[in-house]
Structure 1
Amino acid sequence: MQQYSVHTQTAPGVVSTNKVLRNTYWLLGMTLAFSALVAYVAMSLKLPPPGILITLVGFYGLLFLTHKTANSGAGILSVFALTGFMGYTLGPIISLYLGAGLGDVVALALAGTATVFFALSAYVLISGKDMSFLGGMLQAGFWVLLLMIVASFFVKAQAFHLVLSGLFIMFSSAVILYQTSDIIQGGERNYIRATVTLFVSIYNIFVSLLNILGIMNDD
């Protein structure tokens, strides 16, 4: 009787976790495709970079909107607005690399980003390990990166930007581990918030790889 009672209590939790995980990856795939489409359109139309101010206001404004609407149907629209805007910011960046004859760098950055994401996700999903211990380190890492981003406006040394990009990759990789674990451990129950977290991490890894590979190519 005790064994039966345990199964009847845990089964709904397993079903709920699988649903959140499935919806998260479905929405993540859709937003990645949409973001890529917007980036392609921005490249085709040769749209100018939005600038640092518009980028920051647009990103954090849409991020705030997404979190405010995450528990409603409007949250889906907010996610696509955010990821579409981020795709637009990528368009001019990729155009610069392609214009410099660095199409191979873009392809390598895409492949590297996909490899990192799938490897980290698979590790957590297969092992089932609880990555909640990363929470404190992620909070500390966020503030370190924020200070380094501010410093990057004044420090032009390539070595500094290489280190910053490397730290971004490490930080974003840890976020992927933490967020995926949070879903399968039952902590995250909102697939919209989970999607945004994973999308931003993938975006940061891709841009950081572009920066590292570009510097290594002296461009």
Structure 2
Amino acid sequence: MSDLSSSSTATHAGGLVLADRPDHAASVKRVLRNTYALLSMTLLFSAGVAGLSVAQGWPAPGLLLSLGGMFGLLFAVHKLKDSGWGLVATFGLTGFMGYTLGPVLSHTLALPGGAQTVVMALGVTGITTLALSAYVLTTRRDFSAMGGFLFVGMIVALLLGLAAAFMNIPALGLAVSGMVALLSVGLILFETSRIVNGGETNYVLATIGLYVSIFNLFTSLLALFGMGGDD
């Protein structure tokens, strides 16, 4: 199996990153190709697990188990990113996240207009992801400066989300969903620009970064679009 990471250099100019070496351009193309291939497979795998979870009526794993499983598998992905086991950990993480999504989909589908809500959230997520990716790939804008803000924002959203869950405050939960949706849009721009401009040369980590952002965008939109039917 070929190495999962490669080195590259780039020159920054006026907020844009210009590739001035043929090996850099080749490296970026390779990372992009491998990232989107793996991302497509993990999204399909995750969707399959979610669909199976809905069909079999698997119970929700609970908040603590969900967080523990996701962060534990995310840690494993980072530790194994440079070996073939990194791919196993990647599918393990995305499959687990698909499993946690199943009960959420079952709940949404049971609401009035639930099927339309799922389709709408899925459609908006897909269109948004494609549009943002196309924008970065076309303009090659560097959004790396957003990293610190987005990281802090996600930490705040996580804490507020936990507070909303434990204190049973639906309004706060919806506000957090809106916040996460906006942060996810920023993270898709950030992650894609890191790949395009050579900031991320490991396609396993690039895939996970995009997958988590897309997953969070979809679940946030699902909560926002479904709030009218959830009494």
The normalised TM-score by structure 2 is 0.87
8 Å CA contact retained: 1:158, 1:215: no
Moved over 2 A (4+): 153-159, 216-219
* Matching residue within 214, 221, 224 for 1:212: 224
* Matching residue within 172, 180, 192 for 2:184: 172
Q: Is 1:33 the equivalent of 2:44?
A: yes
8 Å CA contact retained: 2:154, 2:180: no
Q: Is 1:19 the equivalent of 2:36?
A: no
Aligned residue identity for 2:50 = A
Alpha carbons of 1:103 and 1:132: their partners in 2 closer, same or farther (altered >3 Å)? same
What residue is the counterpart of 2:125 in the other structure? 113
Q: How far off is 1:9 after superposition?
A: 6.4
* Matching residue within 189, 202, 214 for 2:201: 189
Q: Is 1:77 the equivalent of 2:88?
A: yes
* Matching residue within 14, 35, 60 for 2:71: 60
Alpha carbons of 1:99 and 1:217: their partners in 2 closer, same or farther (altered >3 Å)? closer
Name structure 1 gaps, 5 residues minimum: 1-7
8 Å CA contact retained: 1:17, 1:183: yes
* Greater mean alpha carbon deviation, residues 23-32 or residues 131-140: 131-140
8 Å CA contact retained: 1:176, 1:198: yes
What residue is the counterpart of 1:99 in the other structure? 110
Higher helix share: 1
Q: How far off is 1:135 after superposition?
A: 1.5
What residue is the counterpart of 1:147 in the other structure? 159
Size of the alignment, in residue pairs? 212
Name structure 2 gaps, 5 residues minimum: 1-18
What SS does structure 1 have at the residue aligned with 2:30? helix
